[in-house]
């Protein structure tokens, strides 16, 4: 998408669609559409009589077409109440606008930014760019040519941001390019998640990592296949991979900045189960349906690394994920089997469907050994997380409150909703095993997201500030309904933008 900055008032821009933001604040729409165009006022008044449009967030209305207007269409888009406006609402507003504009085949649309003059304009523009790019996202790789033709999609090609002071252009250009990179990374994560598990195999994740490393001289990569991982002692994740015909891979990427300003390293670790059938502890039909999303954590690692070359954060970044499939077969791990993780701890796998934590046992202990200053993991770990917070929020668990609070500032900046949950040490006893060091399936189901996080903590060096994000809810929107206009059906890429913002902002 092309973004063009302009100091003109909207009457002087030419495009097919003009977006007029409307507050939900008691003023009539006619009082709010302040375009200096003859005949427009009557048109708005007339439309207001016929159609109910309150300016509520996520709603829109096209004014009927009239000759003599400078725009083919004027699109009213609700912003909600003026006092509630924040960048996240602008993200939603922009996505609603772009989606509606598409329905009338507008190639070029105009936003009047003078409406937001009193707010933090850079933050607003950042959110607007993300809203536009993410709102326009579609996953069409699996549609046939005939189906695509029938859909007659005409994407918007140019967005003009007008009503801006010229002195701000330079800074805003930078803001736009960062916003576009954040969106591009999120979209890569979405594409990887949305690709069916039959194609998005462990090998496909590995190849994506190789491609990223190849295209960026600052990113290097090592990986281990089944044999090499066995020699390395990564036997927990190999246990989970045992039932699959697909070769598993342990992948480690490193980004080395030109200048490491504070001489720090941060690690991002992801759960990369390309399909979670549950293994021999097989999932029921409804639970298995969307389990191609179970590699969302690994998709986030790849998404982050795909834009580091252009964003150039001044901190070293380690990215680690295990890529494997959780399948039942004659060679599959059996309930009750014991595996030994990278740090030497033995795990009794009493439920092969609690496989994510077993894979992460290896990746977290391997990453701990790299001694990063900070460590974050993203994992679609438990259904219990969704019971606790629903589809839109992730749950965050941390051994370091300060780090968590700092990270939450980035989550807020990016509109990625999250809530802290406690690591209740008392519950660790639910993970005891009669024969091994730890059991992957707690004694009872209560507090399932917490016991999963406690399990992970056993594999994290306690001196490293660490956050675990259980993204089972927000990672993907398949059967559920999620009402954010910039998140469509499928993978969301949740977490990518917070992480990128955190590394740009704090180092
Ligand atoms: N991948 C699932 C968790 C999940 C569920 C993610 C729904 C996204 C949506 C995970 O591997 C799993 O199966 N967890 C079990 C753990 C249980 C067996 C202790 C669960 O949550 O039921
Ligand atoms: Zn599972
Ligand atoms: Zn899983």
Nearest residue to 152 via CA among 185, 224, 103? 103
Tens-digit pLDDT profile for residues 321-334: 999 999 999 999 99
State in Å: Cα 453 to ligand 3 middle: 14
| CB-based contact 235:359 (threshold 8 Å) | no
Predicted model pTM: 0.97
pLDDT score, position 117: 77
Per-residue DSSP letter, 440 = S
pLDDT cut 90: percent of the chain above it: 83
Per-residue DSSP letter, 414 = T
Which ligand 1 atom sits nearest the alpha carbon of residue 291?
1
What mean pLDDT is predicted for residues 10-14?
81
What mean pLDDT is predicted for residues 338-353?
98
Distances (CA, A) of 398 to 132, 160, 422, 441: 33, 42, 8, 21
What mean pLDDT is predicted for residues 242-255?
98
pLDDT bin (cut points 50, 70, 90) of residue 48 is: confident
Treating both helix axes as pointing N-terminal to C-terminal, what angle do 121-135 and 87-103 enclose, rounded to 10 degrees? 40
State in Å: Cα 382 to ligand 1 middle: 4
Distance CA 423, CA 270 (A): 20
Between these two residues, 248 and 105, which has the higher pLDDT value?
A: 248
Q: Please, what's the b/e burial string for 229-241 (b: 16 or more CB within 10 A of its CB; e: otherwise)?
A: beeebbbbbbbbb
pLDDT score, position 453: 98
Which ligand 1 atom sits nearest the alpha carbon of residue 351?
18
pLDDT score, position 482: 61
State in Å: Cα 124 to ligand 3 middle: 36
Distance of CA 205 to the CA centre of its chain: 17
pLDDT bin (cut points 50, 70, 90) of residue 212 is: very high
pLDDT score, position 29: 80
pLDDT score, position 141: 97
The encoded tokens of residue 125 equal 């523009």
pLDDT score, position 384: 97
Backbone φ/ψ region at 442: left (φ over 0), alpha (ψ -120 to 50), beta: beta
pLDDT bin (cut points 50, 70, 90) of residue 479 is: low
Distance CA 349, CA 433 (A): 10
SS3 477: strand
pLDDT score, position 10: 85
470 lines ligand 1 (CB under 6 A): no
List 271's β-bridge partners, or say none. Answer: 322
Which residue's CA is the nearest one to ligand 1's atom 5? 383
Distance CA 62, CA 77 (A): 9
- Dihedral in degrees, nearest 10, Cα atoms 250, 253, 254, 258: 170
pLDDT bin (cut points 50, 70, 90) of residue 40 is: confident
Between these two residues, 153 and 127, which has the higher pLDDT value?
A: 127
pLDDT score, position 20: 87
Which residue's CA is the nearest one to ligand 1's atom 8? 472
State in Å: Cα 33 to ligand 3 middle: 50
Which ligand 1 atom sits nearest the alpha carbon of residue 385?
21
471 lines ligand 1 (CB under 6 A): no
pLDDT score, position 28: 78
130 pLDDT exceeds 90? yes
507 pLDDT exceeds 70? yes
358 lines ligand 1 (CB under 6 A): no
pLDDT bin (cut points 50, 70, 90) of residue 345 is: very high
Nearest residue to 10 via CA among 82, 158, 113? 113
pLDDT score, position 50: 87
pLDDT score, position 187: 98
Q: Please, what's the b/e burial string for 75-106 (b: 16 or more CB within 10 A of its CB; e: otherwise)?
A: bbbbbbeeeebebbbbbbbbbbbbbbbbeeeb
Tell me which of 12-21, 125-134, 225-234, 260-269 is least confident.
12-21
pLDDT bin (cut points 50, 70, 90) of residue 481 is: low
480 pLDDT exceeds 60? no
259 pLDDT exceeds 60? yes
46 pLDDT exceeds 90? no
pLDDT score, position 12: 80
pLDDT score, position 65: 73
SS3 422: coil
- Dihedral in degrees, nearest 10, Cα atoms 325, 328, 334, 337: -10
Tell me which of 336-340, 388-392, 457-461 is least confident.
388-392
Between these two residues, 178 and 25, which has the higher pLDDT value?
A: 178
Catalytic residue ranges: 283, 357
Q: Hey, which of 293, 351, 381 would you mutate to test ligand 1's pocket, going by the most ligand atoms within 8 Å of its Cβ?
A: 381
What mean pLDDT is predicted for residues 114-119?
82
How does the average pLDDT of the chain come out, rounded? 94
Which ligand 1 atom sits nearest the alpha carbon of residue 293?
8
Shortest-distance ligand to the CA of residue 448:
1
């Amino acid at each position: 998408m092309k973004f063009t900055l302009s100091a003109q008032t909207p009457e002087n821009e030419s495009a097919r669609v003009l977006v007029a933001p409307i507050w939900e604040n008691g003023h009539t729409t006619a009082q709010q559409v302040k375009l200096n165009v003859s005949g427009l006022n009557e048109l708005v008044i007339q439309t207001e009589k016929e159609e109910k449009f309150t300016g509520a967030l996520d709603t829109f209305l096209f004014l009927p077409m009239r000759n003599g207007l400078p725009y083919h269409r004027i699109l009213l888009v609700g912003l909600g109440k003026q006092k509630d406006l924040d960048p996240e609402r602008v993200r939603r507003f922009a996505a609603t606008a772009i989606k509606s504009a598409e329905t009338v085949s507008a190639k070029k649309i105009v936003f009047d930014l003078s409406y937001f003059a009193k707010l933090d304009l850079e933050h607003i523009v950042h959110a607007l760019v993300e809203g536009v790019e993410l709102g326009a996202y579609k996953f069409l790789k699996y549609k046939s040519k005939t189906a695509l033709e029938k859909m007659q999609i005409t994407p918007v090609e140019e967005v003009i941001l007008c009503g801006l002071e010229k002195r701000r252009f330079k800074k805003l250009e930078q803001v736009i390019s960062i916003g576009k990179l954040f969106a591009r990374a999120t979209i890569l994560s979405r594409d990887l998640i949305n690709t069916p598990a039959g194609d998005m195999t462990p090998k496909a994740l590995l190849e994506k990592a190789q491609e990223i490393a190849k295209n960026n001289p600052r990113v290097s990569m090592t990986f281990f296949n089944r044999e090499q991982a066995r020699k390395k002692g990564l036997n927990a994740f190999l246990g989970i991979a045992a039932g699959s015909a697909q070769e598993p891979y342990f992948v480690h990427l490193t980004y080395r900045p030109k200048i490491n300003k504070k001489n720090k390293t941060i690690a991002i670790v992801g759960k990369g189960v390309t399909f979670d059938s549950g293994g021999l502890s097989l999932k029921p039909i409804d639970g298995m349906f969307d389990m191609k999303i179970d590699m969302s954590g690994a998709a986030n690692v790849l998404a982050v690394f795909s834009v580091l070359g252009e964003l150039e954060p001044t901190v070293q970044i380690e990215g680690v994920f295990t890529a494997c499939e959780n399948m039942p077969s004659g060679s599959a791990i059996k309930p009750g089997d014991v595996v030994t993780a990278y740090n030497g701890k033995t795990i009794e796998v009493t439920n092969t469907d609690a496989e994510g934590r077993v894979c992460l046992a290896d990746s977290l202990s391997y990453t701990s050994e790299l001694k990063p200053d900070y460590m974050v993991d993203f994992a679609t770990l438990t259904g219990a997380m969704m019971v606790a917070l629903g589809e839109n929020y992730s749950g965050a668990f941390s051994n370091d409150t300060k780090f968590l609070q700092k990270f939450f500032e980035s989550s807020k900046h990016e509109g990625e909703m999250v809530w802290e949950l406690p690591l209740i040490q008392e519950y660790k006893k639910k993970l005891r095993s009669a024969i091994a060091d730890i059991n992957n399936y707690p004694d009872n189901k209560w507090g399932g997201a917490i016991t999963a996080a406690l399990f992970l903590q056993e594999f994290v060096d306690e001196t490293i500030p660490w956050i675990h994000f259980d993204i089972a809810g927000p990672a993907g929107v398949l059967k559920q309904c999620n009402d954010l206009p910039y998140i469509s059906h499928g993978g969301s890429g949740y977490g990518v933008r917070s992480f990128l913002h955190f590394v740009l902002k704090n180092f």
